[in-house]
């Protein structure tokens, strides 16, 4: 079965292309089964395929609403190979009951999902708590000749050995599918054919992706996670419009069906299996400014930092890309002594201006590097089948060929981490972990893994190693009380760090990832062209990755390749600064003053807006680390019962209360589809009622941005330097029509605020960590407030009022009708 390749994408550009499957014999589907044994958490079935082979099927309730399906052929029928499993089901699994059913049938029942099994002919169906069928196998999808039209539940063989497993399901006429990683195609993946094989995608305009995740959500409130690191193929009603299929080029099939009351609950349950996002530090939510893919020096770096302060552009991280190292030696992890003769002094000067420092790295070593011969002699590189070092051109000819560090080789890992440790002790705070997708399928690793087995998981190992040493050197390992950093692996840090809802356990800024990679905050979207078309594709990729529970995503503001026009630069900045994380980066300058006026002033104002919203964004981030829910989310995930929103992928919710609709053309016009409820234009304060569609036109200095009616959005004054401390003073912007409530999460705990208009009285309740906050109630209605009560007590009214921590609890009406109040417990 040869893989489907995009004929418009040159294969020579992808040396680590997907491996072809061998020519297979006929499909061999499971046709009948008997109940072999019952377990407290499930049932084992003895099954037979069409050709008479024996297989074992295990159905297991692994967590609330989650059922695991395993198909395991008899050992003599398959090629023996190791399996890497990424799901980690809890040890305490829910019990199930095997209820009596009609002859030839079995029924497993749990609290949140039930499974109906037809034993002969064989078929599995999954139902929700109300008995509605969520997902059902299609055991005989045939064409008019009676031949199978899809790879049904069973196996494929080549030369008598199992080489692939597969399953096919009924696709309902109104069903939509989301996820699969950072796919830049339309957000609704129905009708698409998707490969789970990480690529250096060379852009954002093909199906190839830097970040593949074999998980998807259905609009019918279920998800499926296929637990395999092999190049899985999904056919989502692309070749057979009545079914969708999965083919796993492995000798066993292992997938999880996840039910939920809504898409967010499905994402939460999925993240319980593979891991939750790790919370980045507060400074990571400020603006990152890159040197870009251009020559650099100590003088230029320090000048860039000073100019950012002189132009009063709030910014928190200065990133140095490739050229902090010598060209041709970009993975030596040595400073270019000509460009940076005293790197410690340079880093100290940058830090004195209030910046954190990010350094670019990758796991490839050029053949012209002095370290290449040493590493080759010591066996630190991936090898070809003949035993030689695997050397590839992964730079499109712009850099010498490279070899790939074998991160299963302990000495190679020790060397790699020692070099990173030295840089961290010198003053670096975080690494941009570029690449990691270039593992050839026929490579051989030290642990005897093949490139096919290692390819997708290499990025997880790579980022684990970088995050681990970063955690140790930045003191994050102190999260584990009573244990030293040397006694703690990064994998052990993750769950406890997430449980404590505290700062990161070793942040990275990565390009490639796979299932479970949300533990590596953060990822960015690779290399888009500087066009409006690629801005839109980048947004679609971010929404698809977010649907897989990856909360901390970003992209190159302005695009990576090419020179954006000033209007595109501003429009992309508006999108980027209203993304979970924000970074300026490209092959040419992305510094705002290089785009003249009014670009500099508009950009500065947008950055200030982002910094004002940081309490809101950070609260969403803390919630994401606890629940697994993304910060950036498609409207279809937030409003799954509205079919009109199923395909909307050029706007998104940022957290629960902000609707963002980036401009994707030079005219400044676009339609905006408003979900049900009320939405307030942040600029004009106009109330728009949904569901509805409006055609919006905005000037260059504005982006269509809307607050949910009755939202209470926490804000703060613009801050130039972010620290790991609670916000000093938070002011809630209240878009009140009747009443709302919110919970603010911060490093000092949770603060709950409720506000309700009752006639001419504003009733406010404040409880939790914050002892004093501000409130701004926007004048959205004709109601005139005559009194304000806080926790039942009337507050004094003043003629004027300053919103700060020193102002006594009181309230005031401003000349424009806005009510302001300082609230203290």
Q: Is 7 exposed, middle or buried (0-12, 13-18, 19+ CB in 10 A)?
A: exposed
Is-contact 795 789, C-beta < 8 A? yes
Q: CB atoms < 10 A from the CB of 772, how many?
A: 18
The residue behind tokens 């919630």 is 623
Query: Residue 135: in which H helix or E strand, if any?
Result: strand 133-136
Tokens, residue 795: 């507050």
Instruction: Specify the 3-state DSSP secondary structure of 555.
Output: coil
Adjacent-strand bridge partners of 125: 116, 136
The residue among 138, 140, 151, 160 whose CA lies nearest residue 74 is 160
- Other C-beta atoms within 10 Å of 306: how many? 13
* Beta carbons within 8 Å of 565's beta carbon, 6+ residues apart: 666
Do the beta carbons of residue 783 and residue 739 sit within 8 Å? no
CA distances from 116 to 98, 104, 106, 272 (A): 10, 11, 6, 25
Closest CA to 472 of 457, 458, 492: 492
Give helix 343-352 / helix 298-310 axis angle, nearest 10°. Answer: 0
The CA distance from 588 to 293, in Å, is 7
State how far the Cα of 44 lies from the Cα of 62, in Å rounded to an integer.
14
* Candidates 296, 429, 437, 629; catalytic one: 437
Residue pair 163/22 in contact by the 8 Å Cβ criterion: yes
Q: How far is CA 613 from CA 189, 286, 515, 730, 779, in A?
A: 32, 10, 30, 10, 20
In this structure, are strands 42-49 and 54-63 parallel, antiparallel, or unpaired? antiparallel
Rounded to whole angstroms, the Cα distance separating 638 from 656 reads: 8
Residues 546, 555: Cα–Cα separation, whole Å: 13
CB 521 within 8 A of CB 277: yes
Count of beta carbons in the 10 Å neighbourhood of residue 27: 21
C-alpha–C-alpha distance, residues 591 and 304, integer Å: 9
Buried b (16+ CB within 10 A) or exposed e, 338-364: ebbeebeebbebbeeebbbbbbbbbbb
Per-residue tokens: 634: 């498609």
Asked if 527 is an active-site residue, the reply is: yes
Residue 272 exposed, middle or buried by CB count within 10 Å (0-12, 13-18, 19+): buried
| Nearest by Cα to 735 from 691, 693, 685, 773 | 685
Alpha-carbon gap, residue 820 to 366, rounded angstroms: 61
Element of type H or E holding 200: none
Query: Out of 188, 250, 406, 527, which one is annotated catalytic?
Result: 527
Catalytic residues: 434, 437, 527
């Amino acid at each position: 079965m040869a893989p489907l390749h995009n004929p418009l994408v040159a294969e020579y550009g992808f040396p680590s292309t997907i491996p072809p499957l061998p020519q297979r014999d006929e499909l061999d589907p499971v046709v009948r089964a008997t109940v072999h044994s019952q377990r407290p958490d499930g049932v084992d079935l003895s099954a037979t395929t069409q050709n008479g082979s024996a297989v074992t099927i295990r159905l297991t309730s692994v967590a609330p609403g989650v059922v695991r399906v395993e198909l395991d052929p008899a050992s003599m029928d398959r090629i023996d190979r190791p399996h890497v499993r990424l799901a980690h089901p809890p040890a305490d699994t829910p019990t199930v009951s095997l209820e009596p059913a009609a002859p030839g049938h079995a029924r497993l029942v749990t609290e949140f999902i039930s499974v109906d099994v037809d034993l002969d002919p064989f078929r599995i169906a999954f139902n929700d708590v109300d008995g509605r069928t969520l997902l059902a196998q299609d055991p005989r999808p045939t064409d008019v000749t009676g031949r199978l039209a899809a790879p049904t539940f069973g196996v494929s063989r080549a030369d008598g050995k199992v080489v692939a497993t597969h399953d096919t399901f009924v696709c309902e006429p109104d069903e939509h599918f989301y996820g699969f990683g950072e796919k830049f195609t339309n957000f609704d993946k129905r009708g698409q054919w998707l490969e789970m094989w990480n690529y250096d995608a060379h852009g954002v305009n093909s199906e190839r992706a830097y970040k593949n995740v074999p998980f998807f959500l259905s609009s019918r409130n279920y998800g499926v996670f296929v637990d395999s690191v092999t190049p899985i193929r999904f056919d989502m009603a692309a070749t057979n419009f009545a079914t969708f299929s999965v083919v796993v080029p492995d000798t066993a099939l292992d997938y999880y069906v996840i039910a939920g009351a809504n898409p967010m609950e499905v994402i939460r349950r999925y993240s319980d299996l593979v891991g939750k996002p790790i919370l980045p530090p507060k400074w990571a939510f400020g603006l990152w400014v890159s040197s870009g893919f251009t020559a650099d020096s100590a003088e230029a770096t320090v000048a860039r930092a000073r100019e950012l302060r002189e132009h009063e552009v709030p910014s928190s991280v200065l990133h140095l890309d490739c050229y902090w190292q010598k060209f041709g030696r970009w993975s030596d992890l040595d400073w270019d002594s000509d460009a940076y003769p005293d790197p410690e002094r340079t880093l100290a000067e940058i830090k004195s201006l209030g910046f954190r420092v990010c350094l670019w790295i990758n796991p490839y070593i050029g053949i012209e590097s002095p370290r290449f011969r040493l590493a080759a002699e010591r066996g630190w590189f991936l090898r070809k089948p003949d035993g030689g070092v695997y050397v590839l051109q992964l730079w499109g000819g712009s850099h010498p060929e490279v070899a790939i560090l074998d991160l299963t080789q302990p000495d190679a890992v020790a060397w790699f981490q020692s070099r990173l440790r030295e840089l961290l002790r010198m003053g670096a705070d975080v690494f941009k972990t570029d690449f990691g997708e270039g593992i050839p399928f026929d490579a051989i690793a030290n642990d005897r893994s093949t490139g096919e087995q290692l390819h997708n998981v290499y990025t997880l190992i790579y980022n684990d190693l970088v995050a681990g040493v970063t955690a140790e050197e930045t003191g994050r390992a102190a999260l584990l009380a009573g244990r030293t950093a040397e006694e703690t692996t990064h994998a052990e840090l993750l769950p406890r760090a997430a449980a404590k809802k505290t700062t990161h356990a070793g942040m990275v800024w990565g390009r490639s990832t796979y299932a479970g990679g949300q533990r590596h905050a953060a990822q960015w979207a690779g290399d888009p062209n500087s066009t409006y078309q690629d801005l839109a594709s980048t947004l679609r990729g971010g929404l698809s990755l977010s649907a897989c529970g990856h909360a901390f995503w970003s992209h190159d503001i302005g695009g990576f390749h090419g020179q954006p026009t000033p209007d595109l630069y501003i429009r992309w900045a508006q999108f980027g600064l209203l993304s979970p994380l924000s970074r300026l980066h490209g092959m040419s300058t992305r510094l705002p003053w290089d785009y003249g006026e009014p670009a500099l002033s508009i950009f500065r104002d947008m950055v200030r807006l982002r910094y004002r919203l940081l309490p809101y964004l950070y609260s969403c981030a803390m919630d994401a680390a606890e629940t697994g829910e993304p910060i950036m989310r498609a409207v279809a995930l937030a409003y799954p019962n509205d079919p009109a929103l199923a395909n909307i992928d050029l706007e998104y919710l940022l957290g629960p209360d902000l609707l963002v609709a980036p401009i994707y053309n030079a005219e400044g016009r676009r339609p905006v589809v408003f979900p049900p409820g009320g939405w307030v234009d942040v600029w004009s304060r106009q109330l728009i009622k949904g569901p509805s569609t409006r055609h919006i036109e905005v000037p260059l200095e504005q982006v269509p941005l809307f607050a949910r009616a009755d939202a209470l959005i926490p804000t703060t004054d613009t801050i130039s330097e972010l620290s790991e401390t609670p916000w000093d003073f938070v002011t809630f912007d209240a878009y009140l029509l009747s009443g709302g409530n919110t919970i603010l999460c911060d490093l000092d705990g949770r603060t709950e605020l409720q506000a309700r208009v009752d006639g001419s009285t504003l009733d406010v309740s404040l409880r939790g960590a914050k002892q004093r906050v501000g409130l701004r109630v926007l004048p959205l209605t004709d109601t005139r407030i005559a009194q304000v009560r806080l926790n039942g007590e009337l507050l004094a009214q003043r003629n004027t009022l300053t919103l700060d921590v020193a102002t006594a609890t009181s309230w005031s009406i401003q000349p424009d009708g806005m009510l302001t109040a300082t609230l203290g417990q």
